[in-house]
Amino acid sequence: MNTIIDTNFNFPGQKGLYKGKVREVYNINDNLLVMIATDRLSAFDVVMPKGIPYKGQILNQIATKFMGQTEDLVPNWLIATPDPNVAVGHLCEPFKVEMVIRGYMSGHAAREYKAGKRMLCGVTLPEGMKENDKFPEPIITPATKAEMGDHDEDISREDILQRGIVSEADYVILEDYTRKLFQRGSEIAASRGLILVDTKYEFGKTKEGKIVLIDEIHTPDSSRYFYADGYEDRQDKGVEQKQLSKEFVRQWLITNGFQGLEGQKVPEMTDAYIETVSDRYIELYENIMGEDFVKADVSQIQARILANVERFLSEYH
């Protein structure tokens, strides 16, 4: 399959290029950002050696659709989507924290809880909870933003303010926006028969000093979803929840002896396995979006992106 793993474009007015774990961000004239969602797959903060067909398109289309569905609540950076894998938006200075919000005791929180911890990012966790139980109220557990390949680290609100990573006035807005987005995301998920379990949001400041939502929102890479049907029953029986997220990749890696720890080697991903991952991402898209996924033409994926972005830039004023 033709996938996009790496880009090295030279767009008109290009000032710089930042490569994240999955997205590549081009600075155009210190005014616009062209964000390309690649097909790279990252788990345990490690980028896997092979790409997943259509993954970038899926992430980009989910994120841009949800930005449209939440812009009445929270302003965002997005201007246009000139290509299935591309979003173009306003240049922003990103905050160096990810705003993680959890409605349920799952994933990282559950692993910490099982290890006996009752405090996560300065938030006290109730006693007597079991994995995938709902929290009385959603909790915000921020993480410091890692450079490519480094692990994101849990951090408390107090530490963020004390270390001057974010000012208190700005942090109050970040928390407010995070709760509003999670509430809207949960309502949209419920309308699709899903539960939005946890997610993360990233924010930045425009040149004018306005705080806006940037990067992705409510995608299977940044969020965890459960199927609502049978959730209570599965909790009562103590069986695993049916979920829509890339947790299935993490579980496959754990089973194959990999958790991103030093000295561990990424297990081989066969073409057959990669195809199943691609199929799961398409399933995620169709469940989250409530519509069929339309595969873009990937025969000349780099040329397609280049032509679409250059056309947009030539017409943008």
All residues at 6 or more sequence positions from 237 whose CB lies less than 8 Å from its CB, including other chains:
none
25: which 2 tokens? 């961000």
Token pair for 278: 């691609």
What is the distance between the alpha carbons of residues 272 and 291, in angstroms, rounded to a whole number? 26
pLDDT at position 42: 87
pLDDT tens-digit profile of 28-51?
A: 999 999 999 999 998 888 888 899
Specify which residues 9 forms β-bridges with. none
Q: Are residues 226 and 244 in contact, defined by beta-carbon separation less than 8 angstroms?
A: yes
Return the CATH superfamily for domain 94-244: ATP-grasp fold, B domain (3.30.470.20)
Reported pTM: 0.89
pLDDT of residue 111: 93
Confidence of residue 147 (pLDDT cuts 50, 70, 90): low
Mean pLDDT of 265-292: 92
- The beta-strand segments (E) located in 172-271 are 194-206, 211-214, 223-227, 243-244
Q: What is the pLDDT of residues 170-201, one digit of tens each?
A: 999 999 999 999 999 999 999 999 999 999 99
Q: How many CB atoms lie within 10 A of CB 206?
A: 16
All structural domains of the chain with their residue ranges: 94-244
Q: Give the torsion through C-alpha atoms of 33, 97, 52, 10, to 10 deg.
A: 20
Mean pLDDT of 63-67: 96
Residue 306 per-residue DSSP state: H
- The answer, yes or no, to whether residue 148 has pLDDT greater than 60, is no
